[in-house]
Amino acid sequence: MLFPKQMSEVELIMPSKDLVAVTRTLSGYGVFHQVDSAYLGLESLGPNAWQDKAGAYSALERRIQAIMQNVGLQEEYPAKAEIESVVDMDAVRPEVDRIEEEVKEVSDQLSGERKRLELLESQLRQLEPIADVDVEVGMLKKSSFMHSILGVVPSANISRLRTSLLRVPHVFFILREDAQKPVVWILGPRSNSDVLERAAKSAYLNPLSLPDEFSGTPEQITAMLRKEIESAKQKISVFEADLARLGGSYKSELQKLLWDVHISRVMADAIVRFGQLRHTYVVVGWVPTADLEDLTSRLKEASREILIETMATSRSGHHAQVPVALTQNKWLKPIQMLVGTYGHPSYGELDPTLLMAFTFPLLYGAMFGDLGQGLVMLVLGVLMHNKIIMKSMQSLGLLIAYCGFSAAVFGYLYGSIFGFEGHLIEEYLHFHFEPSWLSPMHDILSVLSIAIDAGIVILTLGFLLGMFNNIRSRDWAHLLFGHSGVAAFLFYICFLAVVFGGFFGSTALAPKIALAIYSLPLPFSTLMIVFGVLVMLSGFLRNMVEGHTLIEGKGVGGFAMFLVQSVMDLVETLISMLSNTLSFIRVGAFAVAHGGLSLAIFALAGEEPDAGFWITIVIGNLFIIGFEGLIVGIQTMRLHYYEILGKFFHGGGMQFEPLNLKSAQEKT
């Protein structure tokens, strides 16, 4: 759990006759991460028939998916199914053609009727503004001498439209008075049609087009349109029922075809990436070491002549090309999602999931400490995780439950339940409930000091983990002089002693850890200068350890630039250490703000415990759970992404993506 799975590199050489059997074995168990044959510098000998097959299977799979979508079927794969050989395209394609033709006929009719319904409804919407006009305006379209424009124009533009038409013979009618958008009708000689159209456009007239297939007054046409719309809806219902019937008839057949073509496509895609020799194929990839023995035995069953060479890969050193397989645990899945948002661990790097599974709920609960509200979040998270409510947020259910549990624990420690604290609990809830630890509202400075202490502990742990990662990867330069190396860590300890222990030592905000460090009989001011020089020259010292060019550039200019950059590195480190440490004050500040917001809700509710009082309290608690709960979650993520993970976690690892024929439901 602390590190990615141990990986082994595997190289296979197999005869051509066992190609499909071996590919089926590699693809069927979800443990083999394939590497392209270009990794070995092998080129395909002549045209690769599998390239065309892969394209054909992919196209056929898309056709089956489109058919299933048309008949309303979900893309389901068998929960348990034997993985057979690739299917014969000539045998499968006629079956797909037959079903597709039958479905397409009904689907085209349905699509055509839906387009017709859309057109009819659009025409009806255009006619509704003039439905009460008793004029057969449709006859004007047939006139050879007159040009007619019917439309809706903003009332403020009526005068502009009249002015634009002054020099053109015309007749202007307002068919329906409206305070905002009256319906107007313009008639003029067809020889002046372009002038009439420009005038209408300049007044932002929205033309109303009448359907050519209907005649009569707008009221008559509207009635006919409504009848046609009702008829179109009935036809659509019939076509939809026909498609549903086809879906029921072909469900099992389509699902089997999809499964067969899907596995054929996956296997063909894999074979395309094999290295091809004259009579053999070469396959290279990665397998978790724990699964290697089982996969090897299965491969030998698939091909007696296969040659298998394996090589375990050590976790030490740099292995950018090694895929990273993380241990899957459903209880840690939401935490892994948060880590994945920041970056994917590299092969030799510590996986921060377990650490974050502890610190994320801890910091969240410390900022959002309330027994009642925390229990509500816990229940809400469990319901979301089990898809009882808010199914679209199911992936966040466990995370909300963890944070809710932590908030409930801190609420018990703070003596807060649904915002009630101290005498308010006895006055309104009629039982005694005292803080088991402290009350943020009454011990503000203590809460802020403890928050800084917690930040120092977490940041120190981050430094130690960063050095541990450097030792594992044998990166001695960064271990000694990196941004989380030994020199930087010792500089941070001296920084805590001098700044927080000495300068702020007499204040109530002084963290106890810094005071304890400052009490040690060591010359921290001198040590801070020494380690500060090492931090300032860290780039130079790293280059020296790694054997690189010590200073970029030559001459006086290069040396001056080096000095400026070194001083800026030291200043940046000082600012970073100060801001990272003080950033944890937000934990205590939000704990205090949480109590303050609860008091504001009580101020709105009043003092008399009537119905209005309790309604205000309930609404206020829901607001706090929703709004402040989201804000605290964002702040907790910020602390991890900017202050904690950056100390030891670099990410950038290649994700383990094994060949897998199983359905998405089965993989999860």
Evaluate whether residue 365 is within a structural domain.
Answer: no
Here the tokens at position 142 are 């047939």
Same domain, 248 and 208: no
Same domain, 146 and 275: no
Whichever domain contains 194, its CATH number is: 3.30.70.100
Secondary structure letter of residue 137 according to DSSP: G
Same domain, 199 and 249: no
Task: Please tell me the total count of domains within the chain.
Answer: 3
Average pLDDT over residues 338-355: 89
The whole-angstrom separation of Cα 44 and Cα 662 is 29
Q: Which residue is it, tokens 């009708």?
A: 185
pLDDT digit string, tens, across residues 461-496: 999 999 998 888 888 999 999 988 999 999 999 999
The whole-angstrom separation of Cα 405 and Cα 16 is 58
Q: 3-state class of 20 per DSSP? A: helix
Evaluate whether residue 346 is within a structural domain.
Answer: no
Report whether 185 contacts 149 (CB < 8 A): yes
Smallest CA-to-CA distance from 363 within 513, 577, 586, 512 is with 586
Same domain, 449 and 554: yes
Q: What's residue 211's pLDDT?
A: 67
Q: Residue 380 — very low, low, confident or very high, per pLDDT cuts 50/70/90? A: very high
Instruction: Using the 3D structure, point to which of 561, 582, 603 is the last residue of a domain.
Output: 582
Three-state secondary structure of 37-95: HHHHCCCCCCCCHHHHHHHHHHHHHHHHHHHHHHCCCCCCCCCCCCCCCCCCHHHHHHH
The whole-angstrom separation of Cα 662 and Cα 668 is 10
Report whether 66 contacts 655 (CB < 8 A): no
Q: What's residue 84's pLDDT?
A: 66
DSSP bridge partners of 11: 284, 309
Report whether 328 contacts 33 (CB < 8 A): no
Smallest CA-to-CA distance from 257 within 63, 508, 507 is with 63
Q: What's residue 142's pLDDT?
A: 63
**Per-residue pLDDT at 641 exceeds 90:** yes
The whole-angstrom separation of Cα 422 and Cα 10 is 66
Same domain, 16 and 77: yes
Contacts for 361 with CB less than 8 Å, ≥ 6 apart: 402, 403, 405, 406
Same domain, 87 and 147: no
The whole-angstrom separation of Cα 514 and Cα 524 is 12
Q: What's residue 668's pLDDT?
A: 44
Reported as half-sphere exposure (CB side, CA atoms, 13 A), residue 133 has a value of 22
The whole-angstrom separation of Cα 467 and Cα 600 is 46
Q: What's residue 101's pLDDT?
A: 94
**Per-residue pLDDT at 554 exceeds 70:** no
Report whether 518 contacts 505 (CB < 8 A): yes
Q: How much is the mean pLDDT over the chain?
A: 87
The whole-angstrom separation of Cα 510 and Cα 517 is 12
Average pLDDT over residues 138-163: 79
Contacts for 653 with CB less than 8 Å, ≥ 6 apart: 4, 323, 324, 343, 344, 345, 346, 347, 349
Q: What's residue 225's pLDDT?
A: 86
For residue 642, the one-letter residue type is Y
> How distant is the alpha carbon of residue 488 from its chain centre?
35
pLDDT digit string, tens, across residues 567-598: 998 999 999 999 999 999 999 999 999 999 99
The whole-angstrom separation of Cα 588 and Cα 366 is 7
> Using alpha carbons only, what angle is made at residue 49 by residues 32 and 91, rounded to the nearest 5 degrees?
90
Instruction: Using the 3D structure, point to which of 549, 582, 615 is the last residue of a domain.
Output: 582
Evaluate whether residue 607 is within a structural domain.
Answer: no
**Per-residue pLDDT at 627 exceeds 90:** yes
Q: Residue 667 — very low, low, confident or very high, per pLDDT cuts 50/70/90? A: very low
Report whether 220 contacts 133 (CB < 8 A): no
* Between residues 41 and 393, the one the model is more confident about: 393
Long-range contacts of 61-65 (CB under 8 A, 24+ apart): 61/258, 61/261, 61/262, 61/265, 63/96, 63/100, 64/96, 64/254, 64/257, 64/258, 64/261, 65/258
Here the tokens at position 327 are 């241990």
Evaluate whether residue 650 is within a structural domain.
Answer: no
Contacts for 488 with CB less than 8 Å, ≥ 6 apart: 463, 481, 482, 535, 538, 573
> CA-CA distances (angstroms) from residue 460 to 261, 360, 530, 636, 643?
54, 17, 20, 18, 11
Same domain, 479 and 550: yes
Q: What's residue 373's pLDDT?
A: 96
Q: How many CB atoms lie within 10 A of CB 213?
A: 9
Here the tokens at position 500 are 């927080």
Q: How many CB atoms lie within 10 A of CB 481?
A: 22
Same domain, 91 and 141: no
Evaluate whether residue 474 is within a structural domain.
Answer: yes
Q: 3-state class of 438 per DSSP? A: coil
The whole-angstrom separation of Cα 228 and Cα 117 is 8
- Look up the domain containing 82 and give its range: 7-99+241-323
First to last CA, the chain: 18
Same domain, 455 and 573: yes
Evaluate whether residue 227 is within a structural domain.
Answer: no
The whole-angstrom separation of Cα 186 and Cα 162 is 10
Same domain, 314 and 260: yes
Q: Which residue is it, tokens 């909300």?
A: 400
Q: What's residue 110's pLDDT?
A: 93
pLDDT digit string, tens, across residues 393-447: 899 999 999 999 999 999 999 999 999 998 889 889 988 899 999 999 999 999 9
**Per-residue pLDDT at 374 exceeds 90:** yes
**Per-residue pLDDT at 31 exceeds 60:** yes
Q: In the chain, what is the greatest distance between 2 CA atoms, to the nearest angstrom?
A: 108
Secondary structure letter of residue 643 according to DSSP: I
Secondary structure letter of residue 313 according to DSSP: -
Average pLDDT over residues 91-116: 93
The whole-angstrom separation of Cα 147 and Cα 145 is 7
DSSP bridge partners of 307: 13
Backbone angles phi, psi at 37, to 5 degrees: -65, -20
Percent of the chain that is helix, strand, coil (3-state, to 5) = 65, 10, 30
Q: What is the DSSP string of 190-253?
A: GGGHHHHHHHHHHTT-EE-PPPTT--S-HHHHHHHHHHHHHHHHHHHHHHHHHHHHHHHHHHHH
Here the tokens at position 620 are 């206020």
Instruction: Using the 3D structure, point to which of 525, 559, 582 is the last residue of a domain.
Output: 582
Same domain, 150 and 35: no
Backbone angles phi, psi at 567, to 5 degrees: -65, -40
Q: What's residue 646's pLDDT?
A: 87
Evaluate whether residue 197 is within a structural domain.
Answer: yes
Q: What's residue 60's pLDDT?
A: 94
Q: 3-state class of 393 per DSSP? A: helix
Evaluate whether residue 393 is within a structural domain.
Answer: no
Here the tokens at position 512 are 């106890």
Q: What's residue 666's pLDDT?
A: 44
Same domain, 80 and 141: no
Handedness of CA 561, 564, 570, 573 (dihedral sign): negative
